[in-house]
Amino acid sequence: MKKDIKDTMLIGVISDTHIPRRFDKIPEKVFSIFKKVDLIVHAGDIVSFEVIEKLEKVAKVVAVCGNDDSSDIKEKLPEINSFDMFNWRFGVIHDVGRLGRMNKMRRVAKGNNFNVLIFGHSHRPFLKRENGILFINPGSPTQPFPPFIIKPSVVLLRVKKEDIQCEIVNV
Percent of the chain with pLDDT over 90: 82
8-170 topology per CATH: Purple Acid Phosphatase; chain A, domain 2 (3.60.21)
Mean per-residue pLDDT, 54-80: 96
Distance (Å, whole) CA 135 – CA 99: 16
pTM for this model (two decimals): 0.93
Q: What is the pLDDT of residue 118?
A: 97
Annotate 108-134 with b (16+ C-beta within 10 A) or e (fewer): bbeeeebbbbbbbbbbbbbeeeeeebb
Q: Which helix (H) or strand (E) holds 116?
A: strand 116-118
Q: Where does the pLDDT of residue 8 fall: very low under 50, low under 70, confident under 90, or very high at 90 and above?
A: very high
Rounded mean pLDDT of the chain?
93
Q: Could you read off the pLDDT of 105-128 as tens digits, one per residue?
A: 899 999 999 999 999 999 999 999
Q: Could you read off the pLDDT of 77-103 as tens digits, one per residue?
A: 999 999 999 999 999 999 887 645 788
pLDDT at residue 2 greater than cutoff 60: no
Mean per-residue pLDDT, 10-39: 95
Alpha helix ranges (H) inside the chain: 28-33, 49-56, 71-76, 101-111
